[in-house]
Amino acid sequence: MKKDGRPIVEKPLLSVLKGERRERPPVWLMRQAGRYLPEYRALRADKGGFLALATDPVAAAEVTIQPIRRFGFDGAILFSDILMVPWALGQDLSFGAGEGPRLAPALVDHTLASLEAVPARLDPVYATVARVAGMLGPETTFLGFAGSPWTVATYMVAGQGSRDQEATRRFAYADPAAFGQIVDAIVAMTIDYLAGQIANGVEAVQLFDSWAGSLSPDQFDHWVIAPNRAIVDGVRARCPGVPVIGFPKGAGGKLPAYAAGTAVDAIGLDETVDPAWADAVLPVGLPVQGNLDPLALLTGGEALDRGIDRVLAAFPARPHVFNLGHGIGQHTPIAHVEQLLAQVRGA
């Protein structure tokens, strides 16, 4: 078949996200564009820092393309960071050498009204998207992303990451109205941000909720399910037909409620989830993504083979995107990624 005189090329990943099951699932890996690749390390050293790299459309596009060029993954994930949204909301963003990201002023001590939004800070990301869209082969699905409101808010409130998100959890309990204003601001900016990515060439998007597992059930409903549903609804209203993947890391037994409440098009499973259990409890036909343990990939050999087989066997009738349960580790050998791809693809 042809469209406008050109052949229609199949996109395996996009078709699965839209509900088609494949005998061999398409593959991409979270953090596939990053520190485990020598070509990435060389480029980052040349640019002199993460933010400089992420806001240079030529360099960020090159990083996005590097794992596609090397491995031929079925999806390319935009190279950026979940903290671009708080940066656009007016916080200062920095990445110190050997440290995690820092946001200032921390909203545990300042009001949201003290910030002045600078949405133009997102323009380099849109330029990166447009550049990548023009570089990808027609069979590769282009994935955009944003952080989910709860996870983004934990950084905005505390000014940095933490192991237990105590400062933000206490803030949400002590002043839910003020915390709700922060979440609402994140939701609104995120809808604009994802719509902007889609307008420039992204074909599906993922919402990363890295700290969803730190919340009680009631708080999970309030600060994870409800705001993610607002984003899903907002993206669908502006960009009909674009799949949204939800990744609530650590949600565990709350995954069915998340799937039903957010109405995401696909759901990512972290490595702690039994994939057979997920297949049994999630809605029939809902595409899932995951969930190999990144440490199995780091280890390689028989441990990797067993882990891959277990994930592949867990979804006998469900649309499935093969991925990790979290991001690929920076010390993962290239040969182990090649082993994974050969086994998943039946090479």
- Kindly list the catalytic residues: 31, 35, 44, 81, 155
Q: Quick one: tokens of 165? A: 């998100």
CA distances 40 to 44, 53, 61, 295, Å, are 6, 10, 11, 21
Q: Quick one: tokens of 218? A: 């009631």
SS3 26: coil
Q: Quick one: tokens of 187? A: 């939701």
Neighbours of 168 (CB within 10 A): 26
d(CA 215, CA 50): 30
Q: Quick one: tokens of 4? A: 């406008």
Amino acid, single-letter form, for residue 91:
Q
DSSP 160: B
d(CA 68, CA 227): 32
CA-based max dimension of the chain: 61
176-199 and 123-133 helices, crossing angle to 10°: 30
* Inter-residue contact 197 to 233 (CB < 8 Å): no
**Distance from chain centroid for Cα 226:** 18
Q: What are phi and psi of 22, to 5 degrees?
A: -115, 145
CA distances 299 to 41, 218, 332, Å, are 21, 38, 8
